[in-house]
A and B are shown apart, each in its own frame.
Chain A
Amino acid sequence: MQRLATLTRNPAMIALVAGLSLAGCASKKTIPNNAADIGLGANAATPGSSQDFTVNVGDRIFFDTDSSSIRADAQQTLSRQAQWLTRYGSYRITIEGHADERGTREYNLALGARRAAATRDYLVSQGVAASRIKTISYGKERPVAVCDDISCWSQNRRAVTVLNGAGS
């Protein structure tokens, strides 16, 4: 519900997600299926599914400018992630670190890596085995919000926990 509140404050994000849903091409891998958040049926998510993780747990956290510190709101999200990952212990995950476009390319690749590492470390501190976690940085190459102001940049400074499916 906290996530819903965040999104309703940002019409641009809702429009983006709605557009993707209508087009039927929402990608479970990199774009959250936020169908529930825009009133399309939260409870339909099967417990333990990737949709459950994205919708009911929250697959991403956000960072302050040029920072990789895990904010208080992000700590709550990551604690939920850790509980969920502990419960559904067969998933392996990749943490994608991202930066906004207000930095230079190479520095932002390093910044994204640092955010991914900080996110991983927090999940490990919450009991998720490090061996289940891979990290990757996309720097500023994969924005989800594409306007040219701070409302988008703050959504692009993120770490996204991507479920890789059940590990063997």
Chain B
Amino acid sequence: MKSFVKAALIVLAAFAGSLNLAVQPARALVEIDVNRGVVEPLPIAITDFLSGDDMGVKVTDVITANLQRSGLFKPVDKAAFIEKVTNPDVAPRFEDWKVVNAQALVTGRVTREADGRLKAEYRLWDTFAGKQITGEQFFTSESNWRRVAHIISDAIYKALTGEKGYFDTRVVFVDESGPKNARQKRLAIMDQDGANLRYLTKGGDLVLTPRFSPNRQEITYMSYAGGQPRVYLLQIETGQRELVGDFPGMTFAPRFSPDGQKVIMTLGRDDGNANIYAMDLRSRTTQRLTAANAIDTSPSYSPQGDRIVFTSDRAGRAQIYVMGADGSNPQRISFGDGTYSTPVWSPRGDLVAFTKQSGGDFSIGVMRPDGSGERILTTGFLNEGPTWAPNGRYLMFFREQPGGGGPKLFSIDLTGRNEQPVPTPNFASDPAWSPLLD
């Protein structure tokens, strides 16, 4: 954990000098309306960051790919650029950028300090207002260059939309290899764009449903280690594994509480029912939260930690319910055709994402926590297991096509219009998106 913090250390330094006043635009250049979508993505020119080697272009490419995938920005073709930026410290010729219809412009530079660290600087310009919107510089070790590119992407996203970004994040998921009736599953972690993939388990045990702790250093997941299906904690950097609790049956479907102090999960009881328990990680005390003669599973806390959304078949088939964090006052919130499961509360608190089965199809959708406003974002043979980007604007999930052999990861925005494959080397399932790393 210590080594991770050290390795990830990126120093943000404020600019000094006449051009360096960070000026926020009077209003966001990009208006996000999840019901209509952005009518037109904002044209943005991202010039290659100046550098003595290929690092500048590499950083630029990561930023460009991030902003393009968000669906909110349309990077202008570099071939159309008129001005060749040779000094990012002076204002660009705004007219040249307005001509190519770039409403925003990014310039920057990557250099190396005497001690070997990278120094990355960027400036974001409003070409029509003719002024700098923001500018920052970062110092970091060379191995962190992708993180710097993601942090700059987040800063641009925030400056232009008024909302937090989601690029400096990671995804933990289940890597799947081998034939379907002898599938090997491993926990894997990667950047949200698929880079820096690393395996966290070796594949000897069946592992499922990894989820991040709020501090991003830990994962809770389910493993069949020793032939006993149970919930574990895993320290990402050290690989240290720890059993969560000592329950008399299968534990599964774990998630952290928003403060990271509890793991909430399901205990399969001897009578075939499944109930929800919360375990305090410090005191090791457990609290039973549901007692229905039913399957109660897939619990997920609200961001304030005061409520829990979960799946139950207490009314006959799987539906979504909301109850207090102490198990009080469970209320059914899903009433559409079909069955609903895998509810996950948005980090913004405004929506619950779910998997819906109806008419032989599996859909990913969202509804408000009171059950109103249900919207389906994608439907098909199998779409399952949504997880929220930390800004609550995007979801990742896994999809399997008939005859496709196995599942793959996809992301989709809340309009449902911007769907993107998430690259993984093998089949992949059970994605969980981390909070912003910051």
Contact = CB atoms under 8 A, between A and B. Distances in A.
Interface of A: 66, 68, 101-107, 109-111, 113-118, 121, 136-138, 141-146, 148
A162 to B, nearest CB: 11
Contact of A104 (B180, B206, B273, B342): B342
A100 B362 CA distance: 14
Contacts of B390: none
Contacts of B318: 104, 107
11 contacts: A105-B208, A106-B253, A106-B266, A106-B341, A117-B270, A136-B227, A137-B229, A141-B183, A145-B181, A146-B181, A148-B402
B268 A110 contact: yes
Given A104-B385, A105-B209, A137-B250, A114 B272 contact: yes
B183 A109 contact: no
B169 interface: no
A146 B384 CA distance: 19
Contact of A106 (B252, B271, B317, B357): B252
B250 A109 contact: yes
Given A68-B272, A104-B384, A106-B209, 8 more contacts: A106-B311, A107-B295, A107-B318, A110-B266, A111-B295, A113-B272, A136-B229, A138-B206
B181 A141 contact: no
Contacts of A106: 209, 252-253, 266, 297-298, 311, 341-342
A107 B381 contact: no
Chain A interface mostly: mixed
A142 B183 CA distance: 8
A113 B268 contact: yes
B181 A144 contact: yes
B180 to A, nearest CB: 4
A149 B206 CA distance: 25
B274 interface: yes
Contact of A105 (B183, B402, B430): B430
Contacts, number: 94
A146 B311 CA distance: 27
Nearest to A106: B253
Contacts of B273: 114
Interface in B81-139: none
A143 B180 contact: yes
B382 interface: yes
A68 B252 CA distance: 19
A50 B243 CA distance: 34
A139 B317 CA distance: 17
Tell which of A102, A118, A144 has the most Cβ of chain B within 10 Å.
Answer: A102
Interface string B266-297: 10101111100000000000000000000101
Nearest to B398: A105
Given A113-B250, A117-B271, A146-B181, A103 B295 contact: no
B295 A114 contact: yes
B355 interface: yes
Contacts of B355: 104
B382 A101 contact: yes
A47 to B, nearest CB: 29
Tell which of A106, A115, A117, A141 has the most Cβ of chain B within 10 Å.
Answer: A106
Interface string B325-366: 000000000000001011000000000000101000010000
Tell which of B272, B317, B339 has the most Cβ of chain A within 10 Å.
Answer: B272
